[in-house]
Copies of this chain bind each other. A is one copy, B any other.
Amino acid sequence: MTLSLHERIRTDIESAILSGKLAPEDRLPVEHELMQTYQCSRMTVNKALSALAAAGLIERRKGAGSFVGRPHAHSMILDVPDLPVEVAKRGHVYGYQLLVRKLRAAARGNAEEELLAGGRRLLQLDGLHSADGAPLAVERRLVSLAAVPAIADADLEKEPPGTWLLRHVPWTEAETRISAIPADGEIARLLKTPVGTACLLVERQTWRSSERITAVRQYFLGTAYHLVARFGSSRP
């Protein structure tokens, strides 16, 4: 694979930064110098530098110059895959059981639920995810009927609501909160584990623009599941 010129300029600078030859806050050569170095037009240099800026590796200041960004404020990429897919990838047989399905109003005084409902009703869906027949996670999900009226008619017996939503409802923003808590009585019973067992709690909310779509709490058996986040491209 022969790199185009702007890609070559981009990777040259990129490796200079990653190897430490260019330190954070260092000033990069200005566009005219790079034009000389690579014997090309300014647009080509500009394309390379713009790409680096978009990737957050450098910072460009109009009138001042281009500078190496400070060591990554390190945000990492957290893959939040669809559970059935994830379980299958780990070589297990996935199962889902719908435990509770009820239409109800938002609990009075519960600000979260009221925001989600937006004055209309909510669909509550409790379910159990399993791998090879063993309980993996319980989830309680609330879906805004205002945002997703179609879900009232969806068949959610065999496919988990997360998967259904993923396929039918586009979203623009999501936030996931990850913590650890001991299993309480009901969670423990459903996961077939002693009360107090360490669980990974994943809470996620999704929005489409500013409209709230769904909120879910998933309790994973701590020893049976983990999340992986990555920074950098190559590692498998």
List chain A positions with a Cβ less than 8 A from chain B: 18-20, 43, 51, 54, 71, 73-81, 166-167, 170, 172-182, 196-201, 207-209, 220, 222-223, 225-235
- The number of times this chain is found in the oligomer is 2
On whether the beta carbons of B235 and A170 are closer than 8 Å, the reply is no
| Nearest B residue (CB) for A233 | B173
Q: Which of B81, B170, B226, B227 contacts A18 (CB 8 A)?
A: B170
* In the bound complex, CA of A43 to CA of B75 (Å): 32
Complex Cα–Cα for A176 and B54 (A):
24
> How far apart are the CA atoms of A78 and B80 in the complex, in Å?
11
Complex formed: what's the CA distance from A158 to B200 in Å?
Answer: 32
Which residues of chain B have C-beta atoms less than 8 A from A235's C-beta? 173, 175, 207
Q: Are B198 and A222 in contact (CB-based, < 8 A)?
A: yes
Residue of B nearest to A182 (CB): B198
Given known contacts A54-B54, A198-B198, A207-B235, A228 and B76 CB-to-CB distance under 8 angstroms: no
A177 touches B18 (CB 8 A): no
Chain B residues lying within 8 Å of A73, measured Cβ to Cβ, are: 79, 81
In contact, B173 and A232 (Cβ under 8 angstroms):
yes
Q: Are B222 and A170 in contact (CB under 8 A)?
A: no
- Do A229 and B18 have beta carbons less than 8 Å apart? no
A223–B170 touching, CB < 8 Å: no
State A79–B201 Cα separation when bound (angstroms). 17
Q: Flag if A180 contacts B166 (CB, 8 Å).
A: no
A51 to B54, CA, bound (A): 9
CB-based contact A178/B19 at 8 Å: no
A232 near B172: Cβ-Cβ < 8 Å:
yes
Min CB distance, A232 to chain B, in Å? 3
Residues of B within 8 A of A199 (CB): 180, 198
State the CA gap A181–B71 with chains docked (Å): 31
CA distance A78 to B230 in the complex (A): 9
25 residue pairs from A and B, CB less than 8 Å apart: A20-B170, A71-B167, A73-B81, A75-B80, A76-B174, A76-B176, A77-B77, A78-B229, A172-B232, A173-B231, A173-B234, A174-B231, A174-B232, A175-B228, A176-B228, A176-B229, A176-B230, A177-B228, A178-B226, A179-B225, A180-B200, A180-B220, A180-B222, A181-B222, A196-B198
Question: Out of B18, B174, B225, which one reaches A172, CB within 8 Å?
Answer: B18
